[in-house]
Each structure stands twice: as C-alpha cells, then as structure tokens.
C-alpha cells in the first residue's frame, strides 16, 4: 500500500513505530498530487514544501504526542490560513492573504498536522457541485466526468483521490456531507457551536459549521476531537466539554433506536440510493438496532426555508466585498459608486450574484415579514419536528443525497434542480444538530452512495458509534477510486 492511502490512525501508528517519517508520508502525498491533480483539480493552492511545523518535525523522531502529529491534511479555501492565500473560490478574494489563521487551523497545527494545501470550492461556499468555483471545476475521482459534490468538493475529492490523509470542509446546507456521499468518503457536520467559526469566511452565519472529511469513521472522530471545543473568539461557541470519542466508538447496537422518516424516502429519490440505504439499515438491524418510522411533517418546507435564510445572511455578509478595504477592486470605475458597482459585477460569479439578490429581496422593506420572517417560523417548525422525533429515537437515518454524483454541466443551468441536491441535508443546518455521511454502497455506474446519520444536539458520540458499527460490518469505505490508484506499483 502506498503511504498516501493510509488513514490518520494507520499513518500515526507508522510514524510512532518509526516505520516511516512524516517527511516521507508528506512526500508521498505531494507526489500523488503531482500525478493526479491536473485531472481532479481538488486543490486551489498547493504548498510544495508543506507549511513549517515544529511539532511535525518532532514526530519524525518518533516523539509524537498527538495522533495528528506529522499527518498531511488539506483545508477548504474559505478557512483562513496565515500567510497563505485564501480565495473562497472567488475572483473577489483571488489574492487575499489572511494575517491570521482560523481557530481550527491553529488547533490542527498545535497537534502537529502538516498543511499541504487549500482545496477548491464553490464560490463563497454557494453551490452543490464545485462547478461554481471562479477558477475551475473539481472532478470526481470515481469518474472525472462527474461532479464531486459541493461546496466542499475539493476537500472531498482530495480525500477520495488520496491527495491528502484527511481534510476540513464547511457545511452550511450539506456542503460536507453531500460531497462526502458523492466521493465515497466520511463527512461529519458537528452540532452548531461545537466547532469555532473564527476565521471561517462567512456565508450564512447561523448555519455555517466546520467539520472533517476522512477515509473512515475513526479518522472523523480524531479530527473532531482536535477541532471542537470552546473558543472565546466565536460568540456562538459553546463551553460543553468534548468527549474522547475516538476511543469510545465500539458500542452494542441493541440499545440503539433508529428513526426512519417517510418524508425522506419519497418522490425524487433514486432507486439505487434507496436500495443502498435500506440495505444499510438491515445491517444495523442485524447488529441489534431497533428501527421505527418517524414523521417530520415540515420537511417539504426545508428547501424554501433554507434558501431564504441562507441567502438573506449571505446578502449581509457579502456586503463587505466592495473594493474598499481588501479584495478585488475594479480598475474601470470613474467614481465611488461606480467602483462599488463594477467591483461587485466583476468580482462575483453568477451564482453568488443570484443568491445575494435573492437575499437582498427577502430582507427588503415590505417583504421582510412575508419571506424572511416566515422562513424563520418554518425553521422553528423543522426544529420542533426533530425534537419530537428524538424523544422516540436515538438517531435518524436517511439518504445523504437523492442521486449519485451527476455529470458535470448537467444541472449548471437549472438552479432549482441543483438546489434539490441538498434536500436531505439542509435540516441539520436549520436545526443545528450533528449529522454524518458514510459510504453505504455503489450504483451500477460504480458511483458511491452515502447514508446520513443524524443525532441529538451535541451527541456526536452516538452518531459516530452508529456509523462505526455499520462500517465494521461492511467494506464500502475500503474501496478506492480509480484515480487514487494512478502511479501505484
């Protein structure tokens, strides 16, 4: 096995035993990036010599004090990294170099992780396919003619193609879980407030959350433990202690109650995806888990609710990009107002403009109560549905996406169909609870299928235990994308 194919826990074990060094592991990752990223385009920026890290260097001598010490990781390009360009997939920030690092980046480096690059994404995290990057689309390592999902498509593709050992993404309406499903990797969205958003370039502040994309559930737990926890720089950060999940993944499933919502298994769900998830439920039932049908009646309002709240917050957050203090500035303008208009016209892509205009309209005088106010009421209804369901069950299991990865360009000119790609993931963001996607099968075209496990607020432990139990009974997570094998002897 090539070193770049290892998981975090496998690589950490090898470094600790002196089988290989962090430098050799990082070199293997960079060599594979050089072989395949011209096809995948997972990265926006590659750091050829890796970010200097004294903790990682210590790991080379076999003195590792953290499982992440010396491990090469990738970071989504909307997470600030000191002295490393952070573009958010937009011309607006094409040359922006942050003077500080996000809290999650600082915590990874404090544990000795090695940053190998920043991953491509839909512009300002607005998209479900990574086709809305201002620079180039990312391709799915299982089929380069397919999308990798979005907006964290670069992070998911980098893990699936083994161009890093693990990565971080951000999730506003499914942007970790949906690409994880499309690329056949594990993607975890923690509870809102669990992980600091300080240094995450904001899209929709009441929805955004940072989380890991990894090769297996154990790695997701390891990454979560490192990045989670209170941060005084983020006013939404909670003070609850973070459990040591990675050593508590084994659990008897006989006391687990699984909810199956009818609303997530109806029209629009691909037959192969449904079959994959139903088969996964049978695996968990065989382990002793009890299943029960639950109802989430407000589900049909989810898409409309999300696209009003998210775009309204985006309209406010993205108002700062006006060419005055940083970022792109038009050189054609003759006066201040024209500079504002030209800068935003030239700097933002079509999807970002669409969402800004929709959000501005929803917040405008005369329409605020009719649209944004009602969306907030619907959000409360959606949360209430889940609160009621979680009185009866421990987790809720659904498909992650309605279909496997679709072809590049297939939905690019049909925004509504593109938005429906997130129909099963947005509720976790609207209500704030944790959710994880794990591979649970493949389509007849050889494309990954993902199963979503949702849990109670701040109960990442249980959803990871359920995901781990399923993973131990199957080998879907062990399959490797064709592009990950390029160059192997």
271-314 pLDDT, tens per residue? 999 999 999 999 999 999 999 999 999 999 999 999 999 999 99
Mean pLDDT, residues 315-334 taken together: 92
Q: Residue 53's pLDDT band (boundaries 50, 70, 90)?
A: low
Query: In angstroms, how far apart are the furthest CA atoms of the chain?
Result: 71
Q: What is residue 56's predicted lDDT score, i.e. its pLDDT?
A: 46
Cβ neighbors of 331 (< 8 A, separation 6 or more) are: none
C-beta separation of 333 from 343 below 8 A: yes
Give the residue from 116, 126, 177, 180 showing the smallest Cα distance to 148. 180
Q: What is residue 59's predicted lDDT score, i.e. its pLDDT?
A: 44
* pLDDT above 90: residue 51: no
399 pairs with which residues across the strands? 451
Name the token pair of 223. Answer: 């990454």
The arrangement of strands across the sheet holding 43-46 comes to: 43-46, 114-119, 72-76, 166-171, 209-214, 186-189, 435-442, 448-455, 395-399, 257-261, 290-294
C-beta separation of 202 from 446 below 8 A: no
Give the residue from 163, 59, 47 showing the smallest Cα distance to 112. 59
Give the residue from 206, 120, 221, 110 showing the smallest Cα distance to 161. 120
Name the token pair of 186. Answer: 């594990």
* pLDDT above 60: residue 64: no
101, 224, 400 from 194: Cα distances, Å: 18, 9, 22
Pairwise CA distance, residues 30 & 3, whole Å: 11
* Beta pairing class for 257-261 and 290-294: parallel
Pairwise CA distance, residues 253 & 55, whole Å: 38
- CATH superfamily label, 3-258+390-485: Amidase signature (AS) domain (3.90.1300.10)
Q: Residue 41's pLDDT band (boundaries 50, 70, 90)?
A: very high
* pLDDT above 90: residue 222: yes
Backbone angles phi, psi at 312, to 5 degrees: -65, -45
* pLDDT above 80: residue 225: yes
DSSP letter (8 states) at residue 200: B
Backbone angles phi, psi at 219, to 5 degrees: -65, -35
Which residues carry out catalysis? 76, 151, 175
C-beta separation of 82 from 98 below 8 A: yes
Spans of all domains in the chain: 3-258+390-485
C-beta separation of 36 from 159 below 8 A: no
Backbone angles phi, psi at 177, to 5 degrees: -70, -40
Give the residue from 299, 280, 303 showing the smallest Cα distance to 473. 280
Q: Residue 486's pLDDT band (boundaries 50, 70, 90)?
A: confident
Q: Give the CB-side neighbour count of residue 229, counting CA atoms within 13 A.
A: 13
Helix (H, G, I), strand (E, B) or coil at 308: helix
Least confident of 110-114, 179-183, 234-238, 482-486: 482-486
CA dihedral 80, 84, 90, 92 (to 10 degrees): 90
Mean pLDDT, residues 208-224 taken together: 98
Burial of 304 (0-12, 13-18, 19+ CB in 10 A): middle
Q: What is residue 54's predicted lDDT score, i.e. its pLDDT?
A: 45
Does this model's pTM top 0.85? yes
Locate the DSSP E strands across 142-256.
166-171, 186-189, 209-214
C-beta separation of 204 from 314 below 8 A: yes
* Beta pairing class for 43-46 and 72-76: unpaired
* Beta pairing class for 166-171 and 72-76: parallel
The mean of the pLDDT values for the chain is 95
Pairwise CA distance, residues 296 & 263, whole Å: 7
Helix (H, G, I), strand (E, B) or coil at 312: helix
C-beta separation of 130 from 153 below 8 A: yes
């Amino acid at each position: 096995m090539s070193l770049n194919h290892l998981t975090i826990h496998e690589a950490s074990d090898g470094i600790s035993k002196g089988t290989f060094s962090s430098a050799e592991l990082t070199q293997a990752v960079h060599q594979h990036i050089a072989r395949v990223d011209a096809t995948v385009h997972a990265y926006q920026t590659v750091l050829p010599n890796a970010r200097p890290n004294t903790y990682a260097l210590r790991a080379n001598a076999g003195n590792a004090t953290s499982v992440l010490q010396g491990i090469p990781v990738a970071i989504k390009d909307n997470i600030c990294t000191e002295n490393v360009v952070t573009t958010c997939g937009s011309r607006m920030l094409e040359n922006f170099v942050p003077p500080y690092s996000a809290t999650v980046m600082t915590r990874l480096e404090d544990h000795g992780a090695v940053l190998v690059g920043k991953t491509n994404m839909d512009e300002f995290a607005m998209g479900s396919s990574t086709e809305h990057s201002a620079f180039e689309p990312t391709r799915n390592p299982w089929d380069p003619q397919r999308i990798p999902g979005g907006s964290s498509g670069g992070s998911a593709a980098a893990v699936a193609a083994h161009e890093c050992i693990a990565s971080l993404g951000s999730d506003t309406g499914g942007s970790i879980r949906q690409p994880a499903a499309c690329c056949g990797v594990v993607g975890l969205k923690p509870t809102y407030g669990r992980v600091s958003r300080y240094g995450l370039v904001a899209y929709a502040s009441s929805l955004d959350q940072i989380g890991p994309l990894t090769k297996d559930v154990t790695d997701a737990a390891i990454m979560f433990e490192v990045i989670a926890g209170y941060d005084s720089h983020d006013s939404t950060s909670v003070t609850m202690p973070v459990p040591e999940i990675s050593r508590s993944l084994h659990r008897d499933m006989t006391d687990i109650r699984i909810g199956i919502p009818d609303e997530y298994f109806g029209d629009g769900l691909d037959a192969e995806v449904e079959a994959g998830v139903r088969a996964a439920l049978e695996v968990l039932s065989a382990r002793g888990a009890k299943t029960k049908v639950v109802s989430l009646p407000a589900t049909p309002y989810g898409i409309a609710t999300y696209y009003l709240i998210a775009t309204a917050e985006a309209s406010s957050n993205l108002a700062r990009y006006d060419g005055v203090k940083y970022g792109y500035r038009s050189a054609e303008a003759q006066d201040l107002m024209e500079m504002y208009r030209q800068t935003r016209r030239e700097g933002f892509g079509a999807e970002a403009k669409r969402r800004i205009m929709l959000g501005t309209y929803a917040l405008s005088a005369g329409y605020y109560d009719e649209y944004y106010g009602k969306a907030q009421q619907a959000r409360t209804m959606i949360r209430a549905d889940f609160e009621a369901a979680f009185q009866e069950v421990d987790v809720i299991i659904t498909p992650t996406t309605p279909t496997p990865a679709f072809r590049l360009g297939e939905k690019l000119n049909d925004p509504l169909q593109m938005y429906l790609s997130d129909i099963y993931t947005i509720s976790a963001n609207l209500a704030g609870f944790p959710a994880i996607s794990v591979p649970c099968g493949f389509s007849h075209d050889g494309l990954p299928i993902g199963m979503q496990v949702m849990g109670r607020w701040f109960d990442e432990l249980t959803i990871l235990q359920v995901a781990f139990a399923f993973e131990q009974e199957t080998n879907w997570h062990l399959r490797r994308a064709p592009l990950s094998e390029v160059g192997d002897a």
